[in-house]
Amino acid sequence: MESPKNSALTTLCDEETFKDFSDVESDDTTLVQLRSRSRVFRPVIILLSVILVLIPLIYFTVATPRRRLKYDQCGTTADEARARGCVFEITGFTWLPRECQDTETEDEFLDYLAENDLNIYRDTKYTDIVPIEEVRLGNGPGFFVRQQYHVTHCQFLLRKLHRAQTSGRMIDGQIMPTHHTVHCGEQTLSVIQDPSWREDAIQLSYTKFPYCGKPGGYNVGWDQDHGRPTAWTNA
């Protein structure tokens, strides 16, 4: 049995229903006309609803470019990267599909290295300087650099990230994750805050093969426990 409260609610609803239609004529002719109008306007309303849904979908489909890459990553070796039409950027020590290339930032970075004698070395004692032309080939696992080089590379990668975001260019998987920006911020702050910071501390700049357009790739991270690149990663 329904409670009095439920009965009262039911009664209220019934009364509201009657009130809504109290001014409508009750003769059969009027009811037929109302039903006829409803049948006429129903398809129109449905059509308008469909149009309102389709307009934004069509707009975003046309306005948003769909970039399908033949390769979204350059493999695991320099030879494989070249075969895929990729390019090597010293800024990040990365093999990249051309869609993620930033020639402007790369040129600025190379100019800065030359103007400030930030060299790249074959040995940890900084005695064997590697010519930039050789570095640009992207061969081998990487080379040694000073800590000052590391901080500089971070600043230019942040520049590259900002340019990619403002221009709509695709972003590579090394600089896309937030943790890379956090890392670069920590490197910059350490110059100011860490009294033990040394600009000549030994750093290995190793070759990476990030994705283009999504985070991660091959060798984009460093395994601190084993002292080597992380191989494949998706973050």
Nearest to 161 by CA among 137, 139, 193, 183: 183
Residues 6 or more apart whose CB falls under 8 angstroms from that of 212 comprise 69, 72, 73, 96, 97, 99, 100, 170, 172, 173
94-121 pLDDT, tens digit per residue, is 999 999 999 999 999 999 999 999 999 9
> What is this structure's pTM?
0.69
**pLDDT at residue number 157:** 96
**pLDDT at residue number 226:** 62
Per the structure block, which two tokens stand in for 44? 């129109």
Do the beta carbons of residue 106 and residue 84 sit within 8 Å?
no
* Ordered alpha helix ranges (H), the chain: 4-20, 28-63, 78-83, 103-115, 132-135, 147-167, 178-193
20-68 pLDDT, tens digit per residue, is 334 444 455 554 454 555 554 455 455 445 444 444 433 333 333 446 7
Every domain of the chain and the residues it spans: 4-63, 78-233
Higher pLDDT: 41 or 145? It is 145
182-208 pLDDT, tens digit per residue, is 989 988 888 888 777 777 778 899 999
Using a pLDDT cut of 90, give the percent of the chain over it: 51
